[in-house]
Amino acid sequence: MAEDVRGTHRAGWRAMTTIVQRREVVPSGLLGMVIFVGTEIMFFAGLISAFTISKAGAPSGAWALPAGQMLPLASTAVNTMALFLSGVLVWIAARQYRARSQAAVQTLLAATVLGALFVLLQGREWIGLIGRGVTLWSSALGAFFYVIVGTHAVHAVAALIGLGVAWWRLRAGRLSDGFFLAAQTFWYFVVLVWPVIYARVYF
Amino acid sequence: MRECISKRVAGIAVSLVAAPASALACPVCGVIGTGDNTWAYQAMTAMLTLLPLAMVGAAVRWLTRLAARERDAGRRRAVNR
């Protein structure tokens, strides 16, 4: 963005050549990720919007899971804590990385493991719900639940892959600032969009 | 020219009269139930309208501040040289 414009004239050249030196204000990886996260925020906003309108329009008693089943509020709260803690650990790892501390490797690994734990526990909840007859086709709430929570899980897995690659590169001493910032941004998005989904869908 | 305008006005009037009494702008409003979800539709419309504007505004502000900071740092470097 900030640019240093220098004009050079060399004999034999047809015209003056202008060399524009561009200095990177934001790493390209981070800027690309910010734009991507913006589109993802709109995607989730669309899903939450459809959910909210459908729920508001449903007749009383119709917005429920089959056979009086309930969504697992308490166990999901525990999963949510694991996800939050993972986000905090990524933030701490970033500070350690900037301070050139070797502890960043362990912190980032712990954050990735906690994130993976969140996905695994969510998967276990899904298996339980499916076993009790809550499927994509069992009710409107079930359909929305699997679509919204499943979409978030797909994003969580993708972000975890990014964190895992960042951890691997950090361990090998080959991690670039841009990649780490992009991986962090994606993970913060996954962490911060979850409370909105939890509050809307589970309650 | 006047005849052309009157034809257009007549065309618009016929279209308005022939238009359905209510058009479903919301793709999920008619899917489930018949409850009153007008408030939800309006609230979500406001959210989906304002959210991208807020995000673009925040991104522009962020980039502008970073560019200004970099410009200042460049000036300081040039002065020190």
Q: Which two tokens stand for residue A112?
A: 């990735």
Residue with tokens 């501390």: A101
Residue extents of the structural domains in chain B: 43-81
Reduced to 3 states, what is the DSSP secondary structure of residue A1?
coil
Interface test with B, best of A54, A138, A145, A196 (most B CBs within 10 A): A54
Q: Decide if A56 and B71 are in contact by the 8 Å CB cutoff.
A: no
Task: Confirm if A53 and B40 have CB atoms less than 8 A apart.
Answer: yes
Taking the C-alpha atoms of residue A24 and residue A202, their distance in angstroms, rounded to an integer, is 43
| pLDDT tens over chain B, length 81 residues | 677 888 899 988 888 888 766 666 666 666 555 567 788 888 999 999 999 999 999 999 999 999 999 888 888 888 887
Q: Is the pLDDT of residue A91 over 60?
A: yes
Chain A residues closer than 8 Å to B55 by CB: 38, 41
Residue A10 domain-assigned? no
Residue A55 domain-assigned? yes
Task: Confirm if A124 and A116 have CB atoms less than 8 A apart.
Answer: no
Residue A34 confidence class, pLDDT cut points 50, 70, 90: very high
Q: What is the pLDDT of residues A104-113, one digit of tens each?
A: 999 999 999 9
| pLDDT, position A3 | 45
B60 touches chain A (CB under 8 A): no
Residue A5 domain-assigned? no
Of the partner residues A2, A48, A60, the one whose CB lies closest to the CB of residue B70: A2
Chain B residues closer than 8 Å to A1 by CB: 63, 66-67, 70
B/e letters for B10-25, b = 16+ CB within 10 Å, e = fewer, are: eeeeeeeeeeeeeeee
B70 touches chain A (CB under 8 A): yes
Contacts of residue A202, Cβ cutoff 8 Å, sequence gap at least 6: A71, A73, A76
Q: Decide if A42 and B74 are in contact by the 8 Å CB cutoff.
A: no
- DSSP class of A198: I
B39 touches chain A (CB under 8 A): yes
Residue A4 domain-assigned? no
Residue with tokens 């670039």: A176
Provide the domain count of chain A. 1
- DSSP class of A67: G
Helix, strand and coil content of chain A, in percent to the nearest 5, comes to 70, 5, 20
Residue A103 domain-assigned? yes
- Helix A28-57 / helix A177-197 crossing angle, nearest 10 deg: 10
Residue A151 domain-assigned? yes
The pTM of this model reads: 0.80
Task: Confirm if B48 and A46 have CB atoms less than 8 A apart.
Answer: yes
| pLDDT, position A14 | 54
Q: Could you tell me if residue A67 is left (phi over 0), alpha (psi between -120 and 50 degrees) or otherwise beta? A: left
> What is the end-to-end Cα distance of chain A in Å, rounded?
45
Taking the C-alpha atoms of residue A50 and residue A44, their distance in angstroms, rounded to an integer, is 10
Residue A19 domain-assigned? no
Taking the C-alpha atoms of residue A185 and residue A40, their distance in angstroms, rounded to an integer, is 12
Task: Name the minimum distance, in Å, from the CA of B16 to any CA of chain A.
Answer: 28
| pLDDT, position A179 | 95
Q: Which CATH number goes with the domain that contains A96?
A: 1.20.120.80
Instruction: Supply the range of the domain harboring residue A135.
Output: 27-202
Residue A65 confidence class, pLDDT cut points 50, 70, 90: confident
Percent of chain A with pLDDT over 70: 90
Residue A9 domain-assigned? no
Residue with tokens 């978030």: A152
Average pLDDT, chain A: 89
Chain B residues closer than 8 Å to A25 by CB: 63, 66-67, 70
| pLDDT, position A99 | 92
Phi, psi for residue A198 in degrees, rounded to 5: -60, -45
Q: Is the pLDDT of residue A13 over 60?
A: no
